[in-house]
Structure 1
């Protein structure tokens, strides 16, 4: 592998880093280019932490024999703690404790530095091992994304040449920059979707971040909250409140997302969501499907929590459809991507009526009228009501008790 080959791969990495792209593809293309230039790579892995509500880190793998193993590794935050022992005895952890650096083990000579993971590679036929950990500067750290680790091996008799090790020393940081750039895009997507919602998050990432930049849309509005949450919270021990909220919120949000809705706000025990971007009848049907899914998930959750001897709560839900303003509202420095309008006020009042009429779910007149005929047949009127803070009284509907019981 001569200098010209190394320079060409470096130029390619710079271009790919600017271009962006998926990390596994980037690593695989890099390894194939190195092989074509004469660097006898056998296996490779690159690991980088992330900032994600579910995943703590991600790893990307390549092997020249292209085995039947996943090229992407995602390490969940609450993974089996028994695996921590493997991590604490790994070369990567050893290098991290040193503040970064590199480790070379000439496997063909029996050198494994006392690491069982390295020994496994030697037994598998690899002849040389080269690992690096590059630490990020404090100002460049994002959450736990403070380093990038890599591991390179070969199965060629005699291992890597000195010039190949030098090439890896030079090229690995450039590869790391390209992978870090891709990972940061992924982190941005995860953050905005986790805190703003899927559709609002995508709109913000596409540049809709100006104050007052809103769209007038017609959407199905969902507002739900937990029945008697205040009573429950006062009776619970302090350590039970957050798991209680998380468990019930997970049920509601999962059902909304599965039906194609977007959660916009978590207001204590309340959840505001919309179903839009489609024909009104389709959006209303999707919301109805989410309600049914939520009830099934809620039943499973209650069975589990009751078996554990911890509190449960039912969910009150209001569904409405109307025009709202959807976009950025706030000050020049602090914005919120949300929906506002009379319809938002109405749906919250409809949900608050559930307790008064002893129903778990209530639908507005407009929502009822929007549904296809076969779906409207599943609903029955509970009467006409004046909603607090809403200028007009309206007829409210609920699911036919006989159909629900059946």
Structure 2
């Protein structure tokens, strides 16, 4: 691989110094599409709960690329062939794997661009960058899509033990201060191997992977699905929905050009270069600026929700194993209707319920396989002596209900 003569070193609080391994990586990081990730929160509205959680997708992408360099080195040391072209493809694919995230990451996914996940948008960005860089991302795209003839390359980018997860668990744990999520990514990477073209983990790494899966469970219930972060993101979605309704009814809203463009799109759009470039101009700043403008809007529902979110005067939220009794929810809804003289549809922005679910380990989707000392391959659940790991393979569903504190 050609080394860059443009020395660019990032000082990362997790891993220390992260360098740019070649000219292409340097140019991708410098591109406006990628620089935008500096303005996309990694953990959405989680900073409402954990004040330190202000890191960005930019941090995470660089960290994931750093771990990929470690994984490539380990596998080569064990005799696994990874060509320079494949190495470059891996680094580009992991660097760009989250480039399709919108404002506040998962919070508004599927709303800004209907029916388009961040993975699909990441692919659109990669295809456009491939044109701009004269086809240098062909291998990266093949790996990202899972089309490459070496399955383990895709598994390093997207699987249940990929460099993405190894970075975000360690990074999000660090910035949130939730130590239960801290994992030993170096240990896990050192135990990686490849058998019959597929990624496996050596048997002596079984305890590290057990800790990894348990940490993922803790982080989801304690951080990613924390009730306060959940209600903040639900409010944000409802604010954007209300803004879209008002625009459709002919109301005027002050907002940036990119945000207004997508708020005026109520149906799924056909992706083209113009839409992609408009999306690339949209980030957290657009949304926060809009909220600050809208908190004084004439529409009570919009202004009230914006003030609640900006001032952290959020809705009361309960998470239980069973949904709230519909009659009780209706009583709270009627109370808000009478207090603020709202319609049922308007009051539903303040009184609602839903469900959340989590499965820390999916045995049916790219399972984590353990390479035993006798050379046989076995699923991690069969080799683990922790009964709790069996429970992690089951989907756990919980139900939340939200309503104003005065309706408690």
TM-score tier (shorter): under 0.3
Structure number with the higher helix fraction is: 2
TM value normalised by structure 2: 0.23
Higher relative contact order (Cα pairs below 8 Å, separated by 6+ residues): 2
Structure number with the higher strand fraction is: 1
Name the larger-Rg structure. 1
TM value normalised by structure 1: 0.23
